[in-house]
Structure 1
Amino acid sequence: MPEHPDSLSQGARVRYYAGNLVLRGLIGATLAVPYRWRVPAMGWLVSRVVAPLAGLRRRVRDNLALVCPEMPVAEVNRLCRAVPDNAGRTLIELYSGAEFLRRAHAAPITGPGLAALEAARAEGRPVILMTGHFGNYDVARAGLIHRGHAMGALYRRMANPFFNEHYVRTISGIGTPMFEQGRRGMIEMVRHLKGGGIIAIVGDLHAHGGRALDFFGKPAVTSVVPAELALKHGAEMIPVYAVRKPDGLNFEIEMHAPIVHSDAETMTQAINDGLEELVRRHMDQWFWIHRRWKPWFDVGLQPGQD
């Protein structure tokens, strides 16, 4: 990912700058609307305007054709609208500051993972919280920080360096430290973990150098580094997800049982399996707009989508 605009060609710099202006303008205009209407309005704009222009509907359709070929056409069409809608809601929520945080702080927490987190903290053991691009993945981080569980988070730099600058500033408002994916960020994150800290990792993206593990019945290249860190440093590994409620504005935080320590691939597969089960219950809340099944060596299933 380009770290600075100066590293881009002139054409790419113009494209990224223009794209950032459009997104900033869209976000700024939507922020003028009261929160109750702002969130669904941004969802509608991304679903009905941005998604068709950016090819997001096609991405959703292609992913579903790959892993859910039996899905009825009507349901595919619904998800082609609903998935970008959730992505749009997530984007404007992150930029809504205190109004969003009030909702995140009020989100109830269910599941055995909370007790496991509290037990680990009482014993001074490190914790790795695993999540995915589901619902609004920053709700869980905000909710747990509000309850006294300070944590760091690993993030992946945006391709657009102009947008990345204010995006990172925005998500840092939920809590710090933030560790950028890469060598320096990894060193800082490991240091934080070794000190008995909590880190949050979004683990459902295609990861160069990862392992071909199963997700929705197809091989998906997945990083096993979080599991390796858990094994090396004796960290509890707990899946956590924020499920958007039917009203489209509020959430429930699900904290699953800790992943049993075994080997890195088995543990990571357990993460994939738990996320898949959750996604099957809420198909419209996972980010099907990502290239999750990209080709990597001889593993990939979607050639031509790099």
Structure 2
Amino acid sequence: MIPSSLKSALHHARYFPLWSALTVIKWRAFEMRSRGLGTTFAAVMRWFPPAGRRFDREARRIFPNMKRGDRARLGQDMGRHMGRTLFEIYHLAEFQTQHHKFRVSGTGLADLKKAQSEGRGAIIVSGHFGQWEAVRAVLKMHGLESGAVYRPNKNRHYERRILAGIEAGGRPILPTGRAGTKALVSHVKAGGIISILLDEKYSQGVRLPFLGQDALTSLSAAQLALKYDLLMVPAFGIRIDDGNAYRVEFENPIPHTDSVTMTRVFNDSLSAQILAQPSQWYWLLRRWDDM
């Protein structure tokens, strides 16, 4: 058991580098601050060996013929994107005012609007790809609001900043676990929209192909969609214009069949996005660990 005083000190120590980076760029314009944290994270991927090795292990699974130097550059590009994404999440209220940066495509948005007009709930499924919060920002632009499911962070400093950020994107924000699941069911049954990132390893899940490799995958989104007659819409916020703007794609709702088939459709959709823009996916999720 770690003493509470030591745990608090460790939380401060682990948060300090990010706090320092955010403080240094505090007085710059939004886009410059975003670029600044992206540059910091790219440097971490280049000069911090544990992060580089972890990325290389995961990327090598999917791109075994890619040269090591090319994978290293891919890792740095990923770090740049993820640094910008984290900055934007920490400042989500400000991010959501950047309406001129969003380009919307796909028919799924019209389907969501129709479902809402009928009092019908919906589930948006996405992944740690591009700027996933751009999806909820576009929904707000169109008079809709989506809550989200998130995994609480054990570090209280990160938790405070991240939770405050994502709450600005739409409510309710529901933690993983039994209480969160109960609230989620109540929300969608009442006609609400919820966004779920479905690309993390789920130890009680089923093995489904993801980027060509079997990965333990949660069926919960599809199970909820079937049980409560909800739309299940894949949506992705893809960085364009050197990362300064976002193409937000709302795909067609996944047809209701069975939970495995529906989840495979989503996995295939996200895999296609990642293969087209591999630097925009967060490769450090340990998606295939201990398979």
Range into which the TM-score falls when normalised by the shorter chain: over 0.9
Aligned partner of 1:163 in structure 2 is 158
Aligned partner of 2:276 in structure 1 is 281
Q: CA deviation at 1:166?
A: 2.2
Match of 1:89 among 57, 69, 84: 84
Say if 1:242 and 1:251, in contact at 8 Å, map to a contact too.
Answer: yes
- Point out the more displaced range, 165-174 or 257-266: 165-174
What letter matches 2:232 in structure 1? M
**Are 1:141 and 2:157 an aligned pair?**
no
Aligned residue for 2:249, secondary structure, equals: strand
- Point out the more displaced range, 162-171 or 202-211: 162-171
Say if 1:83 and 1:289, in contact at 8 Å, map to a contact too.
Answer: no
**Are 1:123 and 2:81 an aligned pair?**
no
Q: CA deviation at 1:124?
A: 1.9
Residues 104, 164 of structure 1: alpha-carbon distance in 2 compared, 3 angstrom cutoff:
farther
Aligned partner of 1:303 in structure 2 is none
Aligned residue for 1:164, secondary structure, equals: helix
Say if 2:219 and 2:263, in contact at 8 Å, map to a contact too.
Answer: yes
Q: CA deviation at 1:185?
A: 0.8
**Are 1:172 and 2:167 an aligned pair?**
yes
Aligned residue for 2:25, secondary structure, equals: helix
**Structure 1 residues 64-75: aligned runs within 5 Å:** 64-75=59-70
What letter matches 1:129 in structure 2? I
Match of 1:34 among 29, 34, 41: 29
Take 1:78 and 1:208, find their aligned partners in 2: how far apart are those partners? 31
Say if 1:104 and 1:250, in contact at 8 Å, map to a contact too.
Answer: no
Q: CA deviation at 1:119?
A: 2.1
Aligned partner of 1:231 in structure 2 is 226
Aligned partner of 1:188 in structure 2 is 183
Say if 1:105 and 1:146, in contact at 8 Å, map to a contact too.
Answer: no
Q: CA deviation at 1:97?
A: 4.5
Aligned partner of 1:56 in structure 2 is 51
Match of 1:205 among 200, 209, 215: 200
- Point out the more displaced range, 55-64 or 191-200: 55-64
Aligned residue for 2:120, secondary structure, equals: coil
Match of 1:248 among 220, 223, 243: 243
- Superposed CA deviations along residues 110-131 of structure 1, whole A, max 9, x for unmatched, are 0121122122222222110001
Among all aligned residue pairs of Structure 1 and Structure 2, give the percentage whose two residues are the same amino acid: 32
Take 1:67 and 1:49, find their aligned partners in 2: how far apart are those partners? 22
Say if 1:152 and 1:198, in contact at 8 Å, map to a contact too.
Answer: yes
Superposed CA RMSD in Å reads 1.9
Say if 1:129 and 1:240, in contact at 8 Å, map to a contact too.
Answer: yes
Match of 1:16 among 11, 15, 24: 11
Q: Please report the TM-score for the alignment, with normalisation by the length of structure 1.
A: 0.89
Residues 88, 279 of structure 1: alpha-carbon distance in 2 compared, 3 angstrom cutoff:
same
**Are 1:260 and 2:258 an aligned pair?**
no
Q: CA deviation at 1:83?
A: 0.5
Q: CA deviation at 1:11?
A: 4.2
Q: CA deviation at 1:90?
A: 0.6
Q: Which runs of 5+ in 1 are unaligned?
A: 1-5, 301-306
Aligned residue for 1:24, secondary structure, equals: helix
Aligned partner of 2:41 in structure 1 is 46
- Superposed CA deviations along residues 118-147 of structure 1, whole A, max 9, x for unmatched, are 222222221100011011111111211221
Q: CA deviation at 1:36?
A: 2.7
Say if 2:130 and 2:238, in contact at 8 Å, map to a contact too.
Answer: yes
Take 1:236 and 1:195, find their aligned partners in 2: how far apart are those partners? 14
What letter matches 2:207 in structure 1? A
- Point out the more displaced range, 253-262 or 71-80: 71-80
Say if 1:206 and 1:291, in contact at 8 Å, map to a contact too.
Answer: yes
Aligned residue for 1:289, secondary structure, equals: helix
Aligned residue for 1:200, secondary structure, equals: strand
Q: Please report the TM-score for the alignment, with normalisation by the length of structure 2.
A: 0.93
Q: CA deviation at 1:7?
A: 7.8
- Superposed CA deviations along residues 38-78 of structure 1, whole A, max 9, x for unmatched, are 21211111110366437222222111111221223343122
- Superposed CA deviations along residues 226-245 of structure 1, whole A, max 9, x for unmatched, are 11000000001000010001
Aligned partner of 2:72 in structure 1 is 77
